[in-house]
Amino acid sequence: MTTTHEEPTSPAITWGYRRKSSLQQSYERQTKALSDLGIPEERVFEDAMSGKTMNRPGWQNLLSHVRANDIVWVDGLDRLGRSTLATLQAMEELEQRGVHVRSAKPVEDLQGATGELIRQIMLVMAQWERRQMLERVAEARAARVAAGLPAGRPKTALADKQVRHIQALRAAGYSVRQIVADLGISRASVYRALALLSTPEVEQSVPSILV
């Protein structure tokens, strides 16, 4: 009789994530919530930047540490992303790795029937946000046409590499003032580079769950 030996599974680890939108804000409330859950400081990752982008140092560091069956706690689901779309995207990124997401807020319990209801509400909100975003783009384009301006992308003297760099900095949460200071270019150049973001790029940023 052959005896098979199963590989021992690693015990689940509990992690924490906190985010603030600017350096002026405080982590105090989030830190207390995570501490009350018994999560040691060395297992808490943080970012001091906008939740618009998933390309955040603390978030990426967290993703490199978590394993299947681990649990990631946040003070509130809004810490995962700035919009409902971004929050859903962050949750999906963790859950695809087999990682469980938990919120310290009782009303954001993602388990069981309540969790399913919350996800459905978030999905509806994300779809509404997407429609609003696309409508604003269409309205801006129509306004340009009505004013006798070209509906397409405005021209810029910046090289493509510079334009992509400016857009990446803005997506990472940098203000226009910070970009101007860091790159030594005019405010008008920054706005021209940001104006190159078009509807197709907006469409590509939408998670597949909404398409």
Helices (H), 147-198: 160-171, 176-183, 187-194
Burial 111-138 (b: 16+ CB within 10 A, else e): eeeeeeebeeebeeebeebbeebeeeee
How do the residues of the chain divide into helix, strand and coil, expressed in percent and rounded to 5?
55, 10, 40
State the Cα–Cα distance between residues 199 and 95, nearest whole angstrom.
Answer: 29
- Does the annotation mark 50 as catalytic? no
- 10, 21, 22, 186: which is the annotated catalytic residue? 21
Question: DSSP assignment, residue 198?
Answer: -
Catalytic residues: 21
